[in-house]
Amino acid sequence: MGPGPEGDGDQLELASVLDALNDESCRQIVEALSEPMTAEEISEVTDIPLSTTYRKLDRLTDAGLLEEGVEVRKDGQHVSRYILVFDEVSIGLSDDRKLELDLSRRETTADERLAALWTEVRKET
């Protein structure tokens, strides 16, 4: 079978991951995320302006490198926290000599899974 939509999707994923990791601000965010953090916390730690931080977080999330979770606070306010979802990115050649991307996903904690669940609930309402 020749390349079809699935092959195009794989190339798009590879390109978006490489583009995100080639961006210095995105790399700073990845390096700063040792634990779930809000956009404001990330902006403060990295010295990246908040508006830029949000754009970079979207880019990293769209590439599948981050996930956004929602923390429900006692005061009724919700805040998004971002978590890293990979430990390693590998690029190799398939048997048919096409580039393949492999993200080694890290284990998520119970708190991170709960935050992801709240995000899904929020999307459905």
- Model pTM above 0.85: no
Band (111; pLDDT cuts 50, 70, 90): low
Question: 86 with 102: CB under 8 angstroms?
Answer: no
* pLDDT for position 7: 42
Q: Write the pLDDT tens digit of every residue in 53-77.
A: 999 999 999 999 999 988 777 777 7
Q: Write the pLDDT tens digit of every residue in 28-50.
A: 999 999 889 999 999 999 999 99
**Domain over 5-124 is classified CATH 3.40.50.620:** no
**How many C-alpha atoms does 115 have within 13 Å on its Cβ side?**
21
**Angle separating helix axes 5-22 and 50-62, nearest 10 degrees:** 150
The Cα–Cα gap between 2 and 18 comes to 24
Structure token digits, residue 62: 């769209």
CA distances to 50, 79, 87, 90, 94 from 25, in Å: 12, 22, 19, 21, 31
